[in-house]
Copies of this chain bind each other. A is one copy, B any other.
Amino acid sequence: MAGATLRDVAKRANVSIRTVSNVVNGYAPVSDELRARVQAALDELDYRPNLIARNLKQGRTGMIALVVPELDVPYFAELAREVITAARAHGYVVMIDQTDGDGERERELLGRDSRATMFDGLLLSPLTVSAEELRARGNRVPIVLLGEHIFNGSFHHVAMDNVAAARDATAHLLGLGRRRVAAIGDQPYATGETAQLRTAGYRQALARAGLEADERLIVSTPHFHRRLGAEAMESLLALPEPPDAVFCYNDLLALGAMRALTRAGRRIPDDVAVVGIDDIEEGQYSTPSLTTVAPDKGEIARRAVNTLLEAINGTAAAPAEITVPHRLIVRESTAGEDAPA
């Protein structure tokens, strides 16, 4: 049997549809006697409101979508959890989708038949979509961008200061006395803005220490997965003058790099110190535990959700770059036994 509708309940309780609706929503005053009768009918028929109909009438769904490249990348999974929590605090639920880092799928989202219209707003962590494409899509559904790319003010955008984060990570390694600091994760092409910002930070730290960057120590990777971190590390170890420290553009690369180092018999941090970015939980339990730059994920999620809801309600300020704080967390991969437990 399909679900009972307001009409069914109304017929059974011998009242108008409207009155049943009032009872369900606690709106207009309803006499106790009628209320009881309607309630009985509601229970007997096990009425559940049809949210789709309600949404159509009200013009909103109470759902926002979070679109990330890959859900099984721990950073995104952890961020997703924070977003769900932040949205729930406002009575919103979050639908999560992944693009597989596939530009095709990202653009699908913006296309005519996109399911995006099912949502009151969109949180998008783009990999390849450009600002122009986003602008061209019109202003159907409010959007807040997360963490990637540079959109110079056309959109709400929440991220940490990537240059500063990379600079802090690199400076930490230099502060340990390391002089051949490698970098893993550059992406010197159009869609690699985040990576390029981190490379810039890396170079800044070297410059401030009066060092010149050795281009052979900067390894590019098309994405940020463990395997590529391991491969990059292997290639660095094969250099005539291998590095004594490595700054990885995220924790997964760093974990892969550490795996390669251990396999090659190098000691961490004695031979090579390692630092990442993201502060995923895995890094606390790796051997050795991983020094990292932690963006404040909770803050990212809250600011993003709040901004999106403001945009939905039309109370949003002009699009702005929102920068959330980050901090360096020192663990064994740079401090060795001295690391705080």
Q: Which A residues are within 8 Å of any B CB, using their own CB?
A: 3, 46-53, 55-56, 61-63, 70-72, 74, 77-78, 80-81, 84, 93-98, 112-115, 117-118, 138, 140, 226, 230, 255-256, 258-259, 262, 281-282, 284-287
Contacts and interface: CB of A to CB of B under 8 A. Distances in A.
B61 A72 contact: no
A3 B120 CA distance: 13
Q: Copies of this chain, how many?
A: 2
Nearest to A105: B88
A72 B93 CA distance: 17
B287 A259 contact: yes
Nearest to A46: B138
20 contacts: A3-B140, A48-B112, A48-B140, A49-B117, A50-B117, A52-B52, A53-B56, A63-B95, A63-B115, A70-B81, A71-B71, A71-B81, A71-B96, A74-B74, A77-B77, A84-B97, A226-B284, A226-B285, A259-B286, A287-B287
7 interchain residue pairs of minimum CB distance: A95-B95, A77-B77, A96-B96, A72-B77, A226-B285, A72-B78, A259-B285
B97 A71 contact: no
A49 B94 contact: no
Nearest to A255: B285
A47 B111 CA distance: 11
A93 B255 CA distance: 32
A281 B74 CA distance: 10
A341 to B, nearest CB: 9
A71 B61 contact: no
Contacts of A118: 51-52, 55, 61, 63
Contacts of A3: 117, 140
B72 A84 contact: no
Contact of A84 (B47, B48, B98, B230): B98
Contacts of A51: 115, 117-118
